[in-house]
Amino acid sequence: MNMQKGKPEWWDKAVEHLSADPLLGRSVKLYSEGHLSGHGEIFQTLVRSIVGQQISVKAADTIHRRLEELCGEIDRESISACTAEEVSSCGLSRKKSDYILGIATSEIPLLPEGFEELDDGAIAEHLVQFKGVGPWTADMMLIFSLMRPDVLCLGDLGIERGIQDLVPQAVTKRQMLEVAESWRPFRSAACWFLWRSLDPFPVEY
């Protein structure tokens, strides 16, 4: 299922909005040459997200590259043709390998019919029915594949750390939501800039 590729159409408006923010503006101006980038295929984003669960961006890139060497273009058909042992040999745990293979061979569509008209919560509810897809992975798909502009991924340790670097006293989810309120309606872009401020490798899924 093909999605948008490259820079989101709303990105320039997001940069304009966030660059004026007293907390995030400095990072936005520092990294404004980059942008969130979609790869155009939702299954690829799903695989990247599962690969990237609880490991560094650099490690995830290495494993994903090995998967591409094994399968060629990563899609449901190419992954389904592999065994769990072959997928694990790329550096994945057996559990992650089983998740990826399970989703590849599932008859359930990755997105519900008419998803374009659904809100973020409804799409996330559909996604988390797949074993291995939790709220964090659903958020990654909303941000990096569906290019939804206002997703705040508070299940991500990097986002929590980035917000606390800006406002050290923001320690609860409620306090972090309050910090991020002024970033609406472009909290997906805010997440990207928070990640970028913490990691020399731009986050991609």
d(CA 129, CA 110): 10
| Structure token digits, residue 183 | 């970033």
pLDDT of residue 16: 97
Alpha helices in 35-186 (DSSP H): 42-51, 57-71, 76-80, 84-88, 94-105, 120-127, 135-144, 157-166, 173-180
pTM for the model = 0.89
Active site residues: 156
Q: Tell me the pLDDT of the chain (205 aa) as tens digits.
A: 556 778 999 999 999 999 999 999 999 999 999 999 887 778 988 998 899 888 888 888 899 999 999 998 899 999 999 999 999 999 999 999 999 999 999 999 999 889 999 999 999 999 999 999 999 999 999 999 999 999 999 989 999 999 999 999 999 999 999 999 999 999 999 999 999 999 877 777 7
How many other C-beta atoms lie within 10 A of the C-beta of residue 26? 14
pLDDT of residue 173: 95
pLDDT of residue 85: 94
